[in-house]
Amino acid sequence: MVGKICGTGSYVPPHVMSNDDLAKIVDTNDAWIRERTGIGRRHIIKGETTSYMAGQAALKAVEDSGIDPAQIELILVATSSSETVFPCAACEVQKTIGAVHAAGYDLNAACTGFVLAFNTAQAYISAGIYKTVMVIGADSMSCMVDWTDRSTCILFGDGAGAAILCAEEGEPAFMAAHSDGVKGEALTGLSRHRGGWKPEGEDKESYIHMDGQAVFKFAVRKVPEIIEEVLSKADAELEDIDHFVLHQANRRIIEAVAKRLKTDISKFPMNLEEYANTSAATVPILLDELNRKGQLRRGEKVMLSGFGAGLTWAACLFEW
Ligand code: COA
């Protein structure tokens, strides 16, 4: 059995922060951000939460699929920014959509989270454990960035995306995943709970810290490698892939990956100009956009790939 996507949904907060808005709070400008990243705007929560966004994306996916939420057996939420440690965001989603028979848990692998959750769902389905699984990526990066640090705050946005996988007979999904904890220092977002309770309150160290160039080089090297690894498992060729749906961190990273793979950039859809890097949410938000625009046709081959803090990276090849 394989998990076929039978419904998608996404949610981004209505409040928009443009590059010009950012230039009013840090020393930056629209031209610099666009040239280095491809980002033009980002959507930022104003009172919404990560699990609220996850729930809204899930409701839309349920509507798109036409299934009864009571059929959903498992809800996986990939997030590193849930507003509560517990209950987990997956249980909040369960409540929102009325998936009364589902089990649920959260999974944290930063920006790689959605692809790893998708792979986990595929593994459960191919093992015959579950038939209907909701997979969500949701993050509120605006709560994690230091809004006085121009090297990181320009990169991120908030949002959520969801996909429902339904078991069907068919070609299996092929997947791979890796981590390199030794290089974890390149991108960190520390828990505010570490070392016990601190009465003095705000702790600057808890914000995102990043060696931008190290992360850039890692992504440009490891994403093509893992795509080739999955292709070889599937006994498939690069030309067989119709859509490369990559984590939307930076236009230059995606262009460099396409170049390394000697594949036309038109096969690498992008929406980061509008949403920036929404961490675990980028891949499912993009999948939902492509689905709603009718750009994914039954039988087409889709390659997902995520990368990010950990360091972590993952990929999955499946048929739409
Ligand atoms: N606006 C204007 N100038 C900025 C700036 C900003 N927002 N941020 C940094 N700069 C300046 C730096 O201070 C530096 O100035 P200097 O030369 O006077 O010291 C100059 O721009 C170049 O900085 P550098 O860090 O070398 O730029 P870069 O070309 O590496 O681009 C990133 C920075 C962050 C855009 C790039 O490294 C990147 O995209 N990395 C990957 C990050 C990522 O995607 N992370 C998430 C992965 S999940």
Domains and CATH numbers, the chain: 2-168 (3.40.47.10), 174-319 (3.40.47.10)
Residue 195 has pLDDT above 70, yes or no: no
Angle among Cα 260, 261, 267 to the nearest 5 degrees reads 120
- Atom 7, ligand 1: residue with shortest CA distance: 150
Residue 2 has pLDDT above 90, yes or no: yes
**Does residue 34 have its Cβ closer than 6 Å to ligand 1?**
no
d(CA 86, CA 255): 39
Q: What is the largest CA-CA distance in the chain?
A: 57
**Does residue 254 have its Cβ closer than 6 Å to ligand 1?**
no
Both tokens assigned to 275: 């949403």
- Of 211, 216, 253, 311, the one to substitute when testing ligand 1's pocket (max ligand atoms within 8 A of C-beta) is 216
- Atom 48, ligand 1: residue with shortest CA distance: 308
CA of 150, closest atom in ligand 1: 7
pLDDT, tens digit, 9 for 90 and up, residues 65-79: 999 999 999 999 999
**Does residue 49 have its Cβ closer than 6 Å to ligand 1?**
no
Query: Are β-strands 312-319 and 174-179 bridged in parallel, bridged antiparallel, or unpaired?
Result: antiparallel
pLDDT, tens digit, 9 for 90 and up, residues 272-320: 999 999 999 999 999 999 999 999 999 999 999 999 999 999 999 999 9
**Does residue 249 have its Cβ closer than 6 Å to ligand 1?**
yes
For residue 237, which amino acid is it? E
Both tokens assigned to 49: 């939460």
Residue 202 has pLDDT above 70, yes or no: no
Residue 249 has pLDDT above 90, yes or no: yes
For residue 22, which amino acid is it? L
**Does residue 150 have its Cβ closer than 6 Å to ligand 1?**
yes
d(CA 121, CA 98): 20
Residue 52 has pLDDT above 90, yes or no: yes
Both tokens assigned to 26: 């840090």
**Does residue 213 have its Cβ closer than 6 Å to ligand 1?**
yes
3 state SS of 171: coil
Residue 83 has pLDDT above 60, yes or no: yes
Q: Is the distance from CB of 163 to CB of 282 less than 8 angstroms?
A: no
pLDDT, tens digit, 9 for 90 and up, residues 27-48: 999 999 999 999 999 999 999 9
pLDDT, tens digit, 9 for 90 and up, residues 224-244: 999 999 999 999 999 999 999
Tell me which residues are annotated as active site.
111, 247, 277
The b/e string for 134-146 (b: 16+ C-beta within 10 A; e otherwise) is bbbbbbbbbebbb
d(CA 271, CA 258): 16
- Of 20, 22, 36, 146, the one to substitute when testing ligand 1's pocket (max ligand atoms within 8 A of C-beta) is 36
